[in-house]
Amino acid sequence: MTKATELGRLKDVLDAYGANPDNWPEDEREQLEAIASDHETEVTAWVEEARQLDAVLNLVPEANVPDGAVDRMLAKVTKPPSAPVVDLQAARSKHARPRGGFDLRQAVPVGIAMAASLMVGVLAGLSDLTASYIPNTGTIVLANAGQGAVGDNLIGFESFTLAEGDLQ
């Protein structure tokens, strides 16, 4: 390695890591210290400049640890795993039957199903009646009540309806 290359590398290291050899790359430290020592006059200004910047960097104080931080840490880290949170009141209202043995929420679907059956029966009967009055148009068709029909979601199956003009 030429002298210029050696000095160039020393300058780069001083510019990057500062004047303290402890901060220099470990694998180059010994060699660079020897170069600095051999060329003391030439490198004095560089070293001094790096030292000044190190000095300024060393003015930054250590941060204070916030009060109570250690105790907060211990409390959080060693906290035993918590049992699953159960909302007893919510669980009770969800699963328990109302007093008196009658559960309205269970009765509603049953009622809807019964009403649907009734409607089917009425329509079937009506078809017989209309067939007798209007012999040529008296066909009851099974049709989807379409989006937004009130009964769709409640009953859960297709509604029966009359084809347009069947009862005219």
Partner 1 sequence: MEQPLKSAAALSPAAASSSQVSHLTLLQQVRAGDQQAFGVLVSELFPTVYRAALRVLRQEQEAEDVAQDVFMKIWGDPPELRAEANLKAWSARVATNGAIDRLRKKKPDISDDLPDQVDPAVAADGALQADEAADAVQQAIDGLPERQRLALVLTYYEGLPNKEAADLLEVSVDALESLLARARRALKAALSEQWQGLLEDFAQGGQNGEGSWKTI
> Which residues in this chain contact partner 1 in the complex, by CB under 8 A?
12-13, 15-23, 25-26, 33, 36-37, 47, 51-63, 65-66, 69-78
Taking the complex as a whole, how short is the minimal distance between the CB of residue 156 and partner 1, in angstroms? Answer: 47
Of residues 62 and 87, the one with the C-beta less far from partner 1:
62
Taking the complex as a whole, how short is the minimal distance between the CB of residue 68 and partner 1, in angstroms? Answer: 10
Q: What is the DSSP letter of 100?
A: T
Of residues 37 and 153, the one with the C-beta less far from partner 1:
37
DSSP, residue by residue, 41-75? HHHHHHHHHHHHHHHHHTTSPPPPPPTTHHHHHHH
Cβ neighbour number for residue 84 with a 10 Å cutoff: 5
Taking the complex as a whole, how short is the minimal distance between the CB of residue 51 and partner 1, in angstroms? Answer: 5
Of residues 53 and 108, the one with the C-beta less far from partner 1:
53
Cβ neighbour number for residue 15 with a 10 Å cutoff: 12
Q: CA 96 to CA 119: how far, in whole Å?
A: 33
Taking the complex as a whole, how short is the minimal distance between the CB of residue 41 and partner 1, in angstroms? Answer: 14
Of residues 26 and 164, the one with the C-beta less far from partner 1:
26
The number of C-alpha atoms within 13 Å of 47 and in the hemisphere containing its C-beta is: 16
Q: CA 11 to CA 5: how far, in whole Å?
A: 10
